[in-house]
């Protein structure tokens, strides 16, 4: 692989992910009195948060869940017409959180995306 190819891949993946999708989905908690950053060394570089390929993969999961949640939200809204849209979305959120597939910030993004997809 040429030196520039990983950078091109990162740039390509980053351009496909919406700007409002979170970068750091798992904040670290490190013991000690001094401030710290939790990072990893990847290919000779220290990385804090997600790499572009990791972020793309997390976005892909969340976007897929949002798309799959659309018909479920509409079905739930039709089944329980007395519920407001907010109640329906809270029910969908609880179901998603129960699966443990997304972090809190990813779920926040996913629910905002679902609102857009549903025009709610």
The answer to the question of residue 21 being in a domain is no
Q: Please tell me the predicted confidence (pLDDT) of residue 34.
A: 75
Tell me the C-alpha distance between 12 and 94, whole Å: 33
The answer to the question of residue 1 being in a domain is no
- Taking CA atoms, 37 is separated from 16, 41, 89, in Å, by 27, 12, 35
Split into its structural domains, the chain has a count of: 1
The answer to the question of residue 103 being in a domain is yes
The answer to the question of residue 96 being in a domain is yes
Q: Please tell me the predicted confidence (pLDDT) of residue 114.
A: 98
The answer to the question of residue 53 being in a domain is no
The crossing angle, in degrees rounded to 10, of helices 85-99 and 104-118 is 140
If the chain, 120 residues long, is cut into consecutive pieces of 10 residues, what is the mean pLDDT of each piece?
59 83 70 70 72 90 97 97 97 96 95 98
The answer to the question of residue 24 being in a domain is no
The answer to the question of residue 95 being in a domain is yes
Domain carrying residue 115: 59-120
Q: Please tell me the predicted confidence (pLDDT) of residue 10.
A: 67
Tell me the C-alpha distance between 50 and 26, whole Å: 9
CATH number (domain holding residue 119): 1.10.10
Tell me the C-alpha distance between 107 and 93, whole Å: 7
Q: Please tell me the predicted confidence (pLDDT) of residue 5.
A: 61
Tell me the C-alpha distance between 64 and 117, whole Å: 12
The answer to the question of residue 79 being in a domain is yes
């Amino acid at each position: 692989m040429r030196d520039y190819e990983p950078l091109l891949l990162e740039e390509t993946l980053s351009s496909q992910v919406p700007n409002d999708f979170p970068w750091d989905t798992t904040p670290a908690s490190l013991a000690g009195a001094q401030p710290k950053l939790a990072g990893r060394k990847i290919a000779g570089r220290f990385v804090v948060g997600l790499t572009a390929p990791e972020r793309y993969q997390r976005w892909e999961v969340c976007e897929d869940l949002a798309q799959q949640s659309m018909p479920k939200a509409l079905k739930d809204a039709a089944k329980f017409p007395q519920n407001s849209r907010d109640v329906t979305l809270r029910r969908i959120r609880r179901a998603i959180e129960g699966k443990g597939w997304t972090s809190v910030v990813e779920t926040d993004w996913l629910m905002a995306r679902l609102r857009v997809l549903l025009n709610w």
